[in-house]
Amino acid sequence: MLTTLKQFSDRINQLIDIANRTLATKQTSSGRFSSSRVDSELFVEFRTSSLSFILNLYDEKHPYYKDFNEIVERASPHDTERGRGILNSIKTEIDGGWLVTLKGVVSAEIFSDFLEMANHLLKEGYKDPAAVMIGSVLEEHLRQLCGKNGIPTEHTKTGKPVSKKADLLNAELAGAGVYNKLDQKNVTAWLDLRNKAAHGKYGEYSQQQVEFMLQTVTEFMTRNSL
């Protein structure tokens, strides 16, 4: 977590530096209707890089993203300063540890509730819906781990954003060193069991295997917390 927070902090500082460099190019035209502007190339770099960072950190519905996208439009000192103000607010959240802490606490509570439901289903002998539920919690945890570590959860296909499959997220998380190759193999096995349950291949796994899946997925998520 500390490494991730440092990466986020370093990146937000880089973006604020781009804002400062953009503002340093300020020029004011003379004449009756004078106006001020900044270097357009630097401004575009500032705007697009900041939007990408905010989108990966939060999502497109978050006020930070919506405000930045709406009010940082023109290559002007005013718009650049407003964008820098939003980044400074995000920096405060990151440096204070609120970003990862809050999202992690909320997610942990939700995931815990679903895993408790899966445990109840297992006790009642319903291994199949329990396996699907555990696998779904695991996949969402992988997506949030990607978000925490700056790994995109979507890619473009035929010009449209498409969510990456869980197996690809697993490979990219392991490749980035978020967890090791043994964890990657275990995640692959858990996802495979979930897929069998989701596709009605109920005879290819046992109640005991789902119980072990619940135990080991819970342990994995605890070690690799958000």
Q: Is the pLDDT of residue 4 over 70?
A: no
At 46 the pLDDT is 96
CATH architecture assignment, domain 98-223: Up-down Bundle (1.20)
Domain boundaries along the sequence of the chain: 2-95, 98-223
Give the model confidence (pLDDT) of 102-156 as tens digits.
Answer: 454 445 566 777 888 899 999 999 999 999 999 988 998 998 899 888 888 888 8
Residue 193: partners with Cβ closer than 8 Å, 6 or more residues away: 131, 135, 205, 209, 210, 213
Give the model confidence (pLDDT) of 154-170 as tens digits.
Answer: 888 887 888 899 999 99
Residue 206: partners with Cβ closer than 8 Å, 6 or more residues away: 127
Burial of 34 (0-12, 13-18, 19+ CB in 10 A): exposed
**Is the pTM for the entire model greater than 0.85?**
no
- What value, to the nearest 5°, has the Cα angle with vertex 47 and ends 46 and 50? 80
Neighbours of 74 (CB within 10 A): 14
Neighbours of 180 (CB within 10 A): 10
The answer to which of 84-98, 105-119, 149-163, 197-211 has the lowest mean pLDDT is 105-119
Q: Is the pLDDT of residue 60 over 90?
A: no
Query: How confident is the model over 197-222, as a mean pLDDT?
Result: 93
Query: How confident is the model over 41-47, as a mean pLDDT?
Result: 96
Mean pLDDT (the chain) is 87
